[in-house]
Amino acid sequence: MQVVSGTVHAPKVHFEAPPSADVPCEMLRFLDWFRRTAPDGSEPLPALTRAAIAHLYFVCIHPFEDGNGRIGRAVAEKALAQTIGRPTLTALAATILAKRKGYYDALEVNNKLNEITEWIAWFAATVIEAQRRAIVSVDFLIDKTRLLDRVNPVIKERQRKALLRMLQEGPEGFKGGLTAGKYTSITGASPATATRDLADLVAKNALARAGERRHAHYTLAIPLSPVAPVIINGQGNVE
């Protein structure tokens, strides 16, 4: 199995999995390593280090035709849970999805050499970012529930539809804010109705308004907390 790009006559190979005949042996070696490096194993490793290596090793072996990335993330979360002693609450999949290009670039750079310190730093930073994203998501879910419980009895269905569309974007917020034009697109309301509905949502403290007239835009009247990227520098410190 190969991951390639470019033209047919001059392809660029980004990754090549081991021959299928070697996969059973490689998986046995991987499982032996995973047991030895567990917290109660003979060669325990720090949680983030072990999770990073486990994910990279698994996706490099590439034992399945499809789903190796998803299973690899589950393996990493298993490694973290074994050290903590309970299931982890991390938005690892969502964070990797948000950093997809960087993820594939990091995999490509680090699947060719035994020196994988750069990968460990990248993955560890991603896990820390995922934990922060999970905490922010839980807080947002609580605020979202409180907002809807408060305004649902007193707003129209089209207003509810617009709010739900904004809430769908999560803690990152509705890109560019909600405008009267976007409200019309979402709900099908006329421009005049859109203006009235938005003013009503501001009065009910469901939305906050910024700007005036045609520059007016609206944001949710709950805290929004975009998660900043986490970087681990060459000294192993989080930036």
Of 89, 208, 226, whose CA–CA distance to 169 is shortest? 226
At residue 14, the pLDDT reads: 65
* Structural domains for the chain: 2-132 (1.10.3290.10), 135-220 (1.10.10.10)
Rounded to 5, what percent of the chain is helix, strand, coil?
60, 10, 30
pLDDT tens-digit series, residues 124-137: 999 999 999 999 99
At residue 4, the pLDDT reads: 66
At residue 226, the pLDDT reads: 83
Distance, CA of 96 to CA of 83 (rounded, Å): 21
pTM, rounded to two decimals: 0.81
Distance, CA of 37 to CA of 53 (rounded, Å): 10
Distance, CA of 55 to CA of 30 (rounded, Å): 11
At residue 201, the pLDDT reads: 97
Pull the structure tokens for residue 69. 């990335």
Profile the chain (239 residues) by mean pLDDT over runs of 10 residues.
68 73 95 97 96 95 91 95 89 90 89 88 94 93 97 97 95 91 96 96 96 88 88 82
At residue 13, the pLDDT reads: 67
At residue 32, the pLDDT reads: 98
